[in-house]
Each structure stands twice: as structure tokens, then as C-alpha cells.
Amino acid sequence: MSAGFIFVVALLVFAVITLLKGVRIVPQGEEWVVERLGKYHSTLHPGLNIIIPYLDAIAYKLVTKDIILDVQEQEVITRDNAVILTNAIAFIKVTDPIKAVYGVVDFSEAIRNLIMTTLRSIVGEMQLDEALSNRDRIKARLRESISDEAIDWGLTVKSVEIQDIKPSPSMQKAMEMQASAERERKAMVTKAEGEKQAMILQAEARLEAAHRDATAQVTLAEASAEAIKRVTQAIGTEEAPMRYMLGEKYLAAVNRLASSENAKTVLLPADIQETIKGLLGKKG
């Protein structure tokens, strides 16, 4: 085999390798950054691209689809010194590959740390109850706060979602104890209020009963006075009718005493005969 033939074969191989190095096919959803002699030269877009072998090199391959960044859980102290745990997830997109690769060392890590620090700052300005109940507000402020920085890095923050925000285990235990104490306090207040109302109602009932008793006694007294008045008017100065009435009532009272179920012994006055005679107007 002659030296000339070997040279031709080597030249053909070199040409093929050179041709292969100069042809680049970029897949859809990616953009490649080309450096010439260590300096930025161009950006290759999806499809067939030609570069100069040995002078140009593919320095970076960037994904232009939406990138999902998971922001790890972290402890955050609220304005009222409560400790809560929160994490987030961000959706970003590379819109300027040059800024993304030359503006920051690692744009994914930069955005992740920016979200963490901004989230701590936002939640740290809130009270515990406010932070737990205003997830949408935190999300809006977080996205607004990091958008300008993201633009400087050639990125667009499409969305930032708060995955979870909850009190720390120790804080949650303290909140449960506080809630239990509050429930006990309300129960005691409710019980005391019930006892107070019951005492008020009992006092009002006693007052109403006393009022009714007084009214009844006055009415009875007035009726007795009217009865005495009418009897006096009917009898006049005669004693016999009066004695007869008193005797009749006396005998009725004795009769009731004798017919009572609880009466086993009936005591009669020793002078009952003289009393009856006196009531009837007879003299012994």
C-alpha cells in the first residue's frame, strides 16, 4: 500500500469527521449556545445547523420548555414569633439563553434560593393566622418579587405555587393546647351563664309567687272583711243568729277533725255541752 493511498484515505476520513463536526441537529424544545475560541458566537435553534469545526464548540444546551423547580421545605418565623414550615414549586421558562448561561452560574439554583429567601421575608412580615390563611396573597407577592431578578437572568417566572404551609410540630402542639384551653374557658363561661340565668329565673319565680301570695292574702282579707260587713248588716244587734253561725262552724270543724284519715284519737273539749248551750243561748 503506497503512501499516497494512505494519505488520500486519511484525508477522506478527516473530511468526513470535519463534516460531521460541522453539522448539528438541535431537537425541538432546546437551544444550544455556540462559543468560538472561548467567546460567545451564536445560538442554535431547533433543526439543522452548521458550525465551523475546531473553531466553534457547543458550550451549553438549554431546555426552552417550562422547567419545574421544587423548593425544599424550610422553617419560617412569623412576626409573632411562631415557627411554620413551608415549601413551594415554581414553573420557569428560559427566554434569553445568553443571559441564562452568562448572567448567573446556575439559574435553577439561583431561582430556588431567591424563592426561599423571598418567601421567608414575606411570611416574616405576617402574623401566624394571617400566614396560614393567605396562601394566594403570599403566592402573588412572591411571584411579583422575583420577576425582576428572573428577567435579568433571561428567565420568565410563569407561576409559583405554595405547596404546603403549616405550623411546626412544637407550634402545632402549643396551638392544640391553646385551643383546648379556649374550649374549656368557653364551656365554663357557658356553664356560669346558665347558672346565672337559672338563679335569675328562680328569683323571679319566687318574687312572682310572693307577689301572688300577697295579692291572694289581700283578696282574702278583703273578702273576709266584706263577709263580716254583710253578716253584721244582716244580723244587726241580735246575738242569736251570730251564736248559731259560730256553733255551726264549730261543729263542722270538729266533724272534719274526726273524719280525717290520719286522726286516730279525737279530743273533745270538756265543756263542749256548756259551749253548745252557750252558742244556742241556753243557760245551765
pLDDT tens, 174-188? 666 777 777 778 888
Strand order in the sheet with 83-94: 67-77, 83-94, 155-167
Mean pLDDT of 155-173: 82
* Predicted pLDDT of residue 140: 87
Asked if the model's pLDDT at residue 275 lies above 70, the reply is: no
Selected residue with higher pLDDT from 169 and 257: 169
Mean pLDDT of 63-82: 88
Q: What is the pLDDT of residue 239?
A: 61
Mean per-residue pLDDT for 265-281? Answer: 55
Q: Does residue 119 surpass a pLDDT of 80?
A: yes
Q: With 70 as the cut, is the pLDDT of residue 242 above it?
A: no
On average, the pLDDT of the chain sits at 81
What per-residue confidence (pLDDT) applies to 244?
Answer: 61
pLDDT of 195 strictly over 60: yes
- The type of residue at 185 is R
pLDDT at 236: 62
Grade residue 93 by pLDDT with cuts at 50, 70 and 90: very high
Is residue 27 predicted with pLDDT exceeding 90?
A: yes
Statement: residue 235 has pLDDT above 70: no
272 confidence band (pLDDT: 50, 70, 90): low
At 18 the pLDDT is: 81
Tell me what the mean pLDDT of segment 118-142 comes to: 87
Among residues of the chain, what percentage have pLDDT more than 70? 78
Overall average pLDDT of the 132-139 stretch = 86
Please tell me the distance from the alpha carbon of residue 93 to that of residue 107, in angstroms, as a whole number.
11
Per-residue pLDDT, 33: 93
Confidence at 91, pLDDT banded by 50, 70, 90? very high
Residue 231 has pLDDT above 70, yes or no: no
pLDDT band at 273 (very low <50, low <70, confident <90, very high): low
Provide mean pLDDT across the span 18-42: 89
What's the confidence (pLDDT) of residue 282?
Answer: 52
